[in-house]
Amino acid sequence: MIKLPFKALNAVVAFVVAAAVLMAFANHTPTSASRTPAASQVVRLAYYEGENGQLAATLDPAQISAADDYNTAALQYRALVIIGTNNKAIPDLASKITHSKDLKTWTFTLRNGLKFSNGDPITSADVVWSIERALAPATNSQVAYYDNLIKGYDAYTGGKASHLSGLKAPNKSTVVVTITKPAAYFLKAFSYPINDVLDKKRLQGKEAGPNNNYLTSTCSGNISDGPFKFKCLNSSSGPGSFYNTGATPVYTLVPNPKFYGPKPKVTIKIPALANTDVGYKDYLAGQVDETGIPSANLAGAKGRSDYHQAPTSTIGYISLSTKLAPFNNVNCRLAIAWGLNRSALMAVIHNASNPLYTILPPGFPSYDKSILSKVPKYNMAKAKSYFAKCPNSSTPVTYWYNTSSADSDHLAEAIVNMMNIVGFKAKASGTTVHDWLHRVNTPLSSTNTQAIRNGWAQDYPDPQDYISLLFRCGNAYDISEWCNSSFDKLVDQADKTGNAKQRTLLYSKAQTIALNAGIPVMYDNGVAHLLISKKVHGLGLYAAWSDIVPKNLDWSTVSVS
Amino acid sequence: MNNIIAFTIRRLVAMIVVVYLITTIVFFMARLSPYDPITLILGQKSIGNPLAVARLRHLFGLDLPLWRQYLNYLGDLLHGNLGYSEEQGNLGEPVWTILRVGVPVSLKLSALSLLLSLLIGLPVGIISALKQNSLVDHGSQFVTMVAYAVPTFVLAPIAQLIFGVELGWLPVSGWGDPGILGIKEMVLPVGLFALALAGFFAKSMRSFMLEILSQDYIRTARAKGLKQRIIIYLHVVKNTLLPLASIVGPTAATLIVGFFIIENFFAIPGIGNITVQAIVNSDYPVIEATTILLAASVVVVNFLTDIFYAMVDPRVRL
């Protein structure tokens, strides 16, 4: 045996142990509520959970289409109207909204003394300029269509007019919008971030096109008119203006002292979290104040005192091609509609969602539970009877879905099993999100897709965004290529009906027609499951918002103990 | 000297050929993908919006014939232009500005890990060899075998649960924060990354040591009455440098594979994370650039290892 001469080794071991002990002690003790000054209260929101470790795809209101970006935009940019936590369009930068009798002319009066975070006054010229900037052909906005009701939209977006004829600023505090047809959903559609108000003086000349991410890449370019403003590291362009390059991406937002409403007391940090698993672990380790819950952990999380759940407007359904056998026959579609055991399907995914039978989910404006008795639900005898009348029932069926998660796989397997129990020769075909997106973005017959998993979440809380947009004959989203004149007449009428009761009645009739044609086959309504730290007060889950926000969007009520 | 120059030139030419071949393969493999990045950028908004699709396709040169795209790509590469990101979050951003952020992060992670793994692995290997077949040897062999054999993607979540969630000592994700938090953020990723490498180095070092300890010149040195410390430092450890150099170089490849796992688990914005994001988002220019960068790194490190090999051992002829 050889005697060891290495004292240095002992020194290394001692160093490692000492470092570990220091780390343990460096883990500072939490401060009590009474000792947390307002300025140091930090809320760490998991808005960007599941975005592959990235932050906003865009911070430019003209380009926002993702829910996470929408939530972030609402912290720093505001429009004339906004969707409140009660799912209604409420005045925001406008203090007063009036409309003509025919619902075609809308007049917005700006609040007194509005200012951007840099002190510039907010005028009607800023409103008009911001909307025209967003809709300008050079901007190439992918969400411009939210404003397609405004008069002159086609000419302006097509480059045939230099201004949007339906948008005027008769004086510094008034904006008048004229729309082409009466539409009960106009205000809600007008609340979309594409109409957020930007500082014309500061941003004029900065294009918003896809090859110019000025606002997304330049922190100081974001001049806020919302409750928060970005805390910028410098005035350069690039990620380094938002956070230290080489560090995990994070946005830091501080209260905007010029905001017209009650001023927030907290600082917000929004880190990029690769996926829900990472967010969940970060939450358990105390690194974020809220998180989604991986479905595998859902059962355990439901027993926690910091567990919260709320309904969402997300719906899941099967789109069937009316041009391809066997679903070019209504009996074949109805055999599926009556053969799906929705409750059993939800059990497959740990009851993370609720079964759904109508196009509009419960709680959504114009949701009408009285039609439940008139639409397909699970009844195997009925399913078999429709199957018996299905002319091409022996045609093999491929059900497409995206393999984005284990839940998605399990759900597809269960759906296909149920199809086969009815009598079909069905198989599931999992595909990538890219391919799936391609298939649900084009008429099903053009991709030879007989049946595919589909889904939708609200752009704004109005039934038109679901029923008319997705299923009216000729609309781009009508990928089943289904046409029914009675349905079309009903939704056209409902879209412009102001009376809420009458509107609900019309949409209910339209839903009954569509669902009894097997267009679509509804099956689930998403439920949001979150853990919210008990240290954070005043934040909640609301169906209109995809992540936590304060009631009435009043951030002054949020605090950290 | 002339030999080294000729060797360097030969290897440089070979390196250029290898990198060129990798560049070509990656370019065409990316284009063989059935997924259209433009549809991905626009998502459902591409419906009924052919003008927007065409504009973006033209912007990125994706409307050109494949051979033309390839020639443009090579031409840009020769001019140091790695292209522009086709992913919505970085749309139009020069690829180099994206890599410029990730490269130093990965270099820091790998340098610290390599250093720590050598600091742990080499002494453990030496002790193990000097105390061959003792309890210490068996114990350290067992630990190094476990460290080497258990994949990082198994160890990482366990370590996160223990040190982050249960004990609350260390963050489970994040990188680059200032102060003590920044140091704490490094402990788990660097430690885990180093652990696997340390196991490998310890096992290798033990083998090298045992082989040298059994040489006649070591017995002669002992017979001459040289002190144990001198025998170990001057005759044993020094002679392990050559075989050690032969394994540290190729470890660069292991480091690169490790980036993808460690950076993903700990949300570290390095080159591995950038590559994974690019793959998920079909961001071809970034995928191509990171692949070339990583391939070139391996080729260069191997080249440097050969040079080092020749410098350490005069018997090696280039």
C-beta separation of A349 from A526 below 8 A: no
Q: Is the dihedral of CA A118, A124, A125, A126 positive or negative?
A: positive
Longest dimension (CA), chain A: 102
Q: Chain B partners of A27 at a C-beta cutoff of 8 Å?
A: 168-169, 184
Query: Which of B97, B173, B226 should we substitute to test contact with A (largest number of A Cβ atoms within 10 Å)?
Result: B173
> In the predicted model, is pLDDT for residue A391 greater than 70?
yes
Subunit contact B173:A273, Cβ cutoff 8 A: yes
Cα of B228 to nearest chain A Cα, Å? 8
Predicted pLDDT of residue A432: 76
Q: How many beta-carbon contacts under 8 Å exist across A and B?
A: 163
C-beta separation of A167 from A128 below 8 A: yes
Instruction: Identify which of A456, A466, A476, A443 has the alpha carbon closest to the alpha carbon of residue A514.
Output: A466
pTM of the predicted model, to two decimals?
0.80
Q: Which of B56, B88, B187 sits opposite A57 (nearest CB)?
A: B88
Instruction: Identify which of A368, A370, A336, A366 has the alpha carbon closest to the alpha carbon of residue A480.
Output: A336
Predicted pLDDT of residue A321: 97
Predicted pLDDT of residue A273: 86
Cα of A502 to nearest chain B Cα, Å? 31
Q: Which of A213, A437, A440 sits opposite B92 (nearest CB)?
A: A213
* A441 touching chain B per CB within 8 A: yes
C-beta separation of B196 from B258 below 8 A: yes
CA angle A544-A549-A554, nearest 5°? 110
Predicted pLDDT of residue A451: 98
Subunit contact A244:B176, Cβ cutoff 8 A: yes
For B226, list phi and psi in degrees, rounded to 5: -65, 150
Predicted pLDDT of residue B89: 67
ipTM: 0.74
Predicted pLDDT of residue A13: 44
Of the candidate ranges A63-77, A422-436, A521-535, B42-56, the one whose mean pLDDT is the lowest? B42-56
Instruction: For residue A12, name the pLDDT band (cuts at 50, 70, 90).
Output: very low
Instruction: For residue B40, name the pLDDT band (cuts at 50, 70, 90).
Output: low
CB atoms closer than 10 angstroms to residue A279: 27
Q: Which of A212, A287, A435 sits opposite B171 (nearest CB)?
A: A287
Please tell me the distance from the alpha carbon of residue B120 to that of residue B202, in angstroms, as a whole number.
8
Query: Which residues sit opposite A292 in a β-bridge?
Result: A530
pLDDT digits (tens, 9 = 90+) for A459-469: 899 999 999 99
Subunit contact A441:B39, Cβ cutoff 8 A: yes
Predicted pLDDT of residue B48: 58
Subunit contact B101:A3, Cβ cutoff 8 A: no
3-class state of residue A296 by DSSP: helix
CB atoms closer than 10 angstroms to residue A318: 24
For A372, list phi and psi in degrees, rounded to 5: -55, -35
C-beta separation of A82 from A555 below 8 A: no
Q: Which of A65, A285, A442 sits opposite B165 (nearest CB)?
A: A285
Query: Which of A9, A13, A54, A481 should we substitute to test contact with B (largest number of B Cβ atoms within 10 Å)?
Result: A54
CA angle A357-A359-A363, nearest 5°? 85
Predicted pLDDT of residue B115: 92
Q: Chain A partners of B157 at a C-beta cutoff of 8 Å?
A: 281
C-beta separation of A175 from A99 below 8 A: no
Identity of residue A409: D
Q: Which of A12, A27, A281 sits opposite B172 (nearest CB)?
A: A281
Instruction: For residue B318, name the pLDDT band (cuts at 50, 70, 90).
Output: low
| Residue-averaged pLDDT of chain B | 84
pLDDT digits (tens, 9 = 90+) for B6-16: 888 888 898 88
